[in-house]
């Protein structure tokens, strides 16, 4: 595998210039000079500091991690072929077939970027959060302040990591037992479809070792999960309880789950969501953000 060089920074710059701000969810204002995304906008989308993106583009930052390259590929809305090229230019092997995918197709990103009034999170087949919008961060807290390894719903449910506090504020109308059972069933299904995924195998092993509740659910025979519309109440630290309809939409061919929260037009809950869009992310837990991450608005993982 070749060592990373200036080609990586050149590709990032070229693809940043190519991407329309509107397609990335940014308003296009009169007098805007940048042909595509500004550097600070890319940094925001990728969950990186502006200085780090600058150093990557200038070739002064070497050896970006697979997580950083993957975040940039999603933020730049690259095709699979372009994503693989970006990995190779960074001296990394592209994501392998037969493993849980975290690539969000450009069309899906353009669609959810235009639905910014609603909280939207995109999850991989193992329930790892890979993309979210600013309204999602305002409702649940900014996932960019959580280490990437902890942005997994199963780990948040059955572990006691930084993301657990956010999940604990959510109450399902179907009941916690049904919700947890559906997540475990989803993980079982993912393991059956991705038997060679070492990261997925490690996640399940760690949860079985750390949580007796998860281990017990894992040992039970379970039918395939059936996700239906749910009614959830989120206890927000600033605006109080918000009751929202939660839907899980599956992306055919990409094995992704798009989770959306909506409220009826004119309802008090819609008014609370509108307020959150103005006030921004919920206050984070008392812990410093991961190195290189920019606190504030939401970023794709």
Q: What is the pLDDT of residues 67-94, one digit of tens each?
A: 899 889 988 999 888 999 999 999 998 8
Q: What is the pLDDT of residue 301?
A: 39
How far is residue 89 CA from its own chain's centroid? 24
Q: Are strands 120-123 and 256-262 parallel, antiparallel or unpaired?
A: antiparallel
The pLDDT, as a whole number, for residue 282 is: 61
Class of domain 106-279: alpha beta
The structure tokens listed for 238 are 């600033």
pLDDT tens digits along 249-300: 988 778 899 999 999 999 999 999 999 988 877 654 443 333 343 333 333 4
Could you tell me the pLDDT band of residue 223, with boundaries at 50, 70 and 90? low
Per-residue model confidence as pLDDT tens digits over 172-187 = 888 888 888 899 999 9
H/E stretch holding 17 reads helix 6-18
As a 3-state breakdown, the chain gives helix, strand, coil percent values, each rounded to 5, of 45, 15, 40
Q: For residue 38, is pLDDT > 70? A: yes
3-state secondary structure of 106: helix
**176-205: average pLDDT:** 91
| Fold exhibited by the domain 6-89 | 434 Repressor (Amino-terminal Domain) (1.10.260)
Q: How far is CA 195 from CA 111, 140, 167, 201, 219, in A?
A: 31, 32, 28, 8, 17
Reading phi first (left if > 0) and then psi (alpha if -120 to 50, else beta), residue 43 is in alpha
- Give the Cα separation of 7 and 59 in Å (integer): 8
Reply yes or no on whether the pLDDT at 136 is more than 50.
yes
Q: Where are the domains of the chain?
A: 6-89, 106-279
Q: Determine the average pLDDT of the residues in 149-178.
A: 82
Evaluate if residue 142 carries a pLDDT over 90: no
pLDDT of residue 259: 94
Query: Does 15 score more than 80 pLDDT?
Result: yes
pLDDT band per the 50, 70, 90 thresholds, residue 6: low
């Amino acid at each position: 595998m070749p060592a990373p060089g200036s080609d990586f920074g050149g590709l990032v710059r070229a693809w940043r210039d190519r991407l329309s701000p509107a397609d990335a969810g940014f308003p296009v204002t009169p007098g805007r000079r940048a042909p595509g995304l500004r550097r600070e906008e890319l940094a925001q989308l990728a969950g990186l500091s502006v200085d780090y993106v600058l150093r990557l583009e200038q070739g002064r930052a070497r050896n970006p991690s697979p997580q950083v390259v993957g975040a940039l590929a999603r933020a730049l809305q690259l095709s699979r072929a372009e994503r693989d090229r970006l990995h190779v230019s960074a001296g990394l092997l592209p994501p392998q077939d037969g493993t849980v995918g975290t690539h969000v197709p450009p069309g899906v990103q353009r669609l959810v970027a235009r639905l910014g009034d609603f909280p939207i999170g995109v999850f991989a087949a193992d329930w790892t959060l890979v993309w979210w919008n600013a309204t999602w961060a305002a409702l649940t807290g900014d996932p960019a302040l959580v280490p990437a390894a902890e942005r997994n719903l199963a780990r948040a449910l059955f572990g006691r990591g930084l993301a657990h506090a956010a999940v604990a504020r959510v109450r399902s109308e179907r009941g916690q037992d049904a919700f947890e059972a559906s997540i475990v069933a989803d993980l079982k299904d993912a393991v059956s479809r991705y038997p060679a995924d070492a990261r997925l195998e490690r996640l399940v092993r760690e949860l079985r070792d750390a949580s007796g509740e998860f281990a017990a659910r894992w040992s039970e025979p379970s039918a395939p999960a059936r996700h239906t519309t749910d009614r959830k109440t989120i206890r927000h630290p600033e605006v109080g309880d918000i009751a929202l309809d939660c839907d899980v939409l599956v992306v055919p061919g990409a094995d992704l789950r798009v989770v959306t929260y909506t409220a009826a037009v004119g309802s008090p809950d819609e008014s609370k969501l509108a307020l959150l869009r103005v006030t921004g992310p919920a206050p984070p837990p008392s812990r410093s953000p991961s190195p290189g991450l920019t606190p504030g608005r939401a970023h794709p993982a």
